[in-house]
Amino acid sequence: MERQEIIDGLVEILKTVRTINQEKLVGVTEDTDFIKDLNTPSTEMINIVAKTEQKFDVEFDDDDIDGLGSKVKDVVDLIIKTKEKEQ
């Protein structure tokens, strides 16, 4: 799965999060920070990660989430790492 494909999928998830300003979803890149750039409430991050599991058909470990950074890149890396581990 290409990284841009994952970013597009993440943006689709973010479009369903009412606490995120939808106008800020234009131009999301790997460097976009969920908290600083999109003003995502930290509580919402867990919901986003849970939706990410469903969308990309992966299962993250609790420990992975404990150390997860707040940039789009961090989630992309985690999805790729988890998919590789599951294969």
Partner 1 sequence: MDNFLGWEPKDVLVKHGPTKLLVNKYHWHSPRVGIVASYTPTARDVEDHFGVFRGVDQIEAFAQATTGTCNVFLECEKQGLTPVELMEVFLPRFISVGQVIFHNYLEVDDTFISIGNIKFYKFRQMVCDGRIYKVPAGLDLDDYFSDFNEERLLAYDISPDFTLIADLSDITGRAIKKELIDKLSQL
Q: CA 48, CA 10: separation in Å to the nearest integer?
A: 9
Closer residue to partner 1, CB minimum distance, 57 or 66: 66
Q: Which amino acid appears at position 64 of this protein? A: D
Q: Least distance in Å: CB of 67 to partner 1?
A: 7
Q: Least distance in Å: CB of 10 to partner 1?
A: 17
Q: Least distance in Å: CB of 75 to partner 1?
A: 13
Tell me which residues touch partner 1 (CB under 8 A): 41-43, 46-47, 49-50, 60, 62, 65-67
**Left, alpha or beta for 60 (phi > 0: left; psi -120 to 50: alpha)?**
beta
Closer residue to partner 1, CB minimum distance, 8 or 53: 53
- Which DSSP string corresponds to 10-53? HHHHHTT-TTS-GGGGTT--TT-BTTTTT---HHHHHHHHHHHH
Closer residue to partner 1, CB minimum distance, 1 or 41: 41
